[in-house]
Amino acid sequence: MTIINSIMEISFNKEDGSYRKIEKYNPEKLAELAHHYEKILELLGENTQREGLIKTPYRVAKSMQFLLQGYEMNPVEILESAKFKEDYRQMVIVKDIEIYSLCEHHLLPFIGKAHVAYIPNGYITGLSKIARVVDIFARRLQVQERLTSQIKDCIQSTLKPLGVAVVIEAQHLCMQMRGIQKQHCITTTSDFTGAFERVATREEFIKLIGSKLS
C-alpha cells in the first residue's frame, strides 16, 4: 500500500501486476461541494443537464479537495517523523521541487519550482520530507510570498538548523490568462534565516541551484 496523500492510496497486486486506486473522499462534503458547483455553473449561464456537464460539479468537487488537501496535513509531523541525529554541518539542497498551488485571490493555479536548503545543526531529515513539506503548504490557497515563508519557518522551527533558504520561481495563470496577460513572466520569491543571511552563503546557494536570481 502506497499512501500518495491524505485522500488517495495506491495498492499494488503482485499476482497480476495491477494497481488499484483507493480514494478517501468524505461523501457528504463531496455532495455539498458538487451542489454548490452546479449552482455556480448555472449562474455562469450553463445548462448543467447537458451530457458533458452532468458529472462536472462532482468532478470539480473532488478535484478541489485534492488540490487543497494540504489543510488536512501537518508538515511539522512529517519532518518530525524523519528527524535523525547527525553531525553533518554542510549545506543540504533539494532543488527543482515542483509546485502546483492555487492563488487565493483568483483560485487560479500558479506553477513552478521550489529550491530549499538548510545547514543542519545536529539533526537532518529525509530529503523526500522536504519535498512533502513544500507540497503540503502548496496544496492550500496561497500567495507565493507566504508559501515561501511558511516553508522556511516550518523547517527552521522543527529542525532548528543553522539556517534555511527557500527560493520559489513560479508562473501565475491569473497573470497570464487575465489581467495584464503577460505570458512568460516568472515571479521569484526568496526567504532566508540564520547562516543564509550572510552574503557568501546565500550566493553559494543561489549558484548551486542555478537560479537567475542574484
If DSSP codes are grouped into helix, strand and coil, which group holds residue 165? strand
What sign results for the dihedral spanned by CA atoms 77, 78, 79, 82?
Answer: positive
For residue 78, give the H/E element and its range.
Answer: helix 75-80
- 3-state helix, strand, coil split of the chain in percent (to 5) is 40, 30, 30
Q: How far is the CB of 171 from Zn ion (least distance, A)?
A: 11
If DSSP codes are grouped into helix, strand and coil, which group holds residue 35? helix
How far apart, in whole angstroms, are the C-alpha atoms of residue 213 and residue 151?
19
Catalytic residues: 103-106, 144, 172, 174
Pick 89 or 105: Cβ nearer Zn ion: 105
Pick 150 or 156: Cβ nearer Zn ion: 150
How far apart, in whole angstroms, are the C-alpha atoms of residue 106 and residue 141?
10
Q: How far is the CB of 100 from Zn ion (least distance, A)?
A: 14
Q: How far is the CB of 108 from Zn ion (least distance, A)?
A: 6
Nearest residue by C-beta to Zn ion? 174
The residues that touch Zn ion, with contacts defined as CB under 5 A, are: 103, 105-106, 174
Pick 76 or 107: Cβ nearer Zn ion: 107
